[in-house]
Structure 1
Amino acid sequence: MKTETLFENADVNMARRSFLRYAGVGAAAVGVLAAASCTKGTDNNMGDPVTPPKNNGIDIGAKGDLAILNYAYALEQLEAAFYINVAAHMYTGASADEIALLTDIRDHEVAHREFFKAALGSNAIVSLTPNFSAIDFSSRTRVLAAAKAFEDTGVSAYNGAGYLIQNTDYLLLAGKIVSVEARHAAYIRNPVSPGSFADNMILDANGMDKPQTIARVLAIANTYLTTKVSASNYGYVAS
């Protein structure tokens, strides 16, 4: 089955239930985001639907909280698509624990994706088309290495963009989601290299997760996307 078909046909109801269960975010939180996304003003300047730029890609939008939410939404789309493919084409020899782990992460990522999509409403960027041709889904080593890269990048992305969020409600939600992403990262790292759940590759000298800029994260994400994502309107250019 093609990646985009799997990507588009995920169980939305399951996703929303999973997100509420695992991230601890109530339905009221969706209302908070949805209401704010309908408001035009100097804080976001993004009251109108986001449209693709001339380069046939998609831009997250001008500076403001909605741009950062769309940035997160783009990354969650990519992660969800990856794990949907992993679960649908589980590599040979996967243990019961690995199958349960990867399936749980799939459910979480789909839930995150659907949460942002519902919350952003008409302000959401379009559904992205992933390209995982560089990943051999039949190989345990390559699947887990890719999962590790996705999770580590996802955590660093939230940490790198968190300071840009102005609305404290949004910041709280981002904190809830990144805490789940960090659990994923630690969980994936152990079968790759036991005991590596928090090493100096991802932590700084103060024992804190290293952040990455929007430009750097999008440059990485775009290697797995047919639909390229940029942040040029925000002031960053992802090559």
Structure 2
Amino acid sequence: MKTETQHDEANVNMARRSFLRYAGAGVAAASVLSVAACKKDHSPMTHTGIDIGANGDLAILNYAYALEQLEAAFYVNVSAHMYTGATQDEIALLADIRDHEVAHREFFKKALGNNAIPSLTPNFSSIDFSSRASVLGAAKAFEDTGVSAYNGAGYLIQSADYLLLAGKIVSVEARHAAYIRNLLNPGSFADTSILDANGMDKQQTIAQVLAIANGYLSTKVNASNYGYVAS
């Protein structure tokens, strides 16, 4: 596997132009990202594996790219090994989610260019892809974590353009999460386990999210070199 290294600040403008150009591909519906309250993140972070980098917005985009790689790989596997008893609607809609996640993954990869982290190797050994409960339980974890990840990283994004694009993607992830939750438990699409007292989606820090994601990755991801900024 060829490893792509991260470049310095001179590439930021080029990445931004690429990101905006591919935004027109329609990979996500429009929405507004709920920006979390600003705070320093002092949670412990693993220092092994692939680092998302220290370069401001590019590091956050690589963080999102890592999560989209994981989700895309999961849904590709789901569609290739559909669980027993899946209805035609489930097969079709899970394939739609697969296509969305693959589009998100490719979106970030093209936008980041030479700044992108390498392709990650997933480890889904804990998931029984023949079991509806196992697959949908994992899908729920991935989708809820994805939404909370975008919400938790929102305040770290410095570019208004990047923030808008993240909002467009997180809105689609939330649609996925609602559908998966309803498959598991009708009416649970927006319950108190994911919403706060103000009816807003909860957020998680980069450390919290990577701790979950790394449980499904052979190639571990860390943010040990990223500098957190408090406003």
Whether TM-score is above 0.5 comes out as yes
Aligned to 1:20: 25
Paired with 2:201 and 2:106, the residues of 1 have a C-alpha distance of 26
Q: Is the 8 A contact 2:143 2:174 kept in 1?
A: yes
SS of structure 2 residue aligned to 1:182: helix
Alignment partner of 1:101 is 2:101: no
Structure 1 residue 92 displacement after superposition: 1.3
Question: How many pairs does the alignment contain?
Answer: 191
Alignment partner of 1:58 is 2:63: no
Q: 2:73 aligns with which of 81, 84, 88?
A: 81
Structure 1 residue 20 displacement after superposition: 2.6
Q: 2:197 aligns with which of 196, 205, 213?
A: 205
Q: 1:118 aligns with which of 106, 110, 125?
A: 110
Q: Is the 8 A contact 2:149 2:203 kept in 1?
A: yes
Aligned to 2:15: none
Q: 1:178 aligns with which of 132, 156, 170?
A: 170
Write out aligned runs for 1:1-239 (5 A): 20-23=25-28, 55=48, 57-235=49-227
**Runs (4+) off by over 2 Å:** 19-22
- What amino acid is the match of 2:25? L
Aligned to 1:9: none
Structure 1 residue 22 displacement after superposition: 4.5
Q: Is the 8 A contact 2:27 2:103 kept in 1?
A: no
Paired with 1:175 and 1:183, the residues of 2 have a C-alpha distance of 13
TM-score w.r.t. the length of structure 2 is: 0.79
Paired with 2:75 and 2:81, the residues of 1 have a C-alpha distance of 10
1:84-122 per-position Cα deviation (integer Å, ceiling 9, x unaligned) = 000000011100010011100000000000000000000
Percent identity of the aligned residues? 82
Cα RMSD over matched residues?
A: 1.8
1:164-205 per-position Cα deviation (integer Å, ceiling 9, x unaligned) = 000011011000000000000001110100000000000000
Q: Is the 8 A contact 2:29 2:172 kept in 1?
A: no
Paired with 1:180 and 1:87, the residues of 2 have a C-alpha distance of 19
- What amino acid is the match of 2:28? A
Paired with 1:189 and 1:87, the residues of 2 have a C-alpha distance of 18
Structure 1 residue 54 displacement after superposition: 8.2
Unaligned runs of 5+ in 2: 1-21, 31-45
Larger RCO of the pair (alpha carbons < 8 Å, separation 6+):
2
SS of structure 2 residue aligned to 1:20: coil
- What amino acid is the match of 1:215? A
Unaligned runs of 5+ in 1: 1-16, 26-52
Aligned to 1:6: none
TM-score w.r.t. the length of structure 1 is: 0.77
Paired with 1:107 and 1:65, the residues of 2 have a C-alpha distance of 26
Paired with 1:202 and 1:121, the residues of 2 have a C-alpha distance of 34
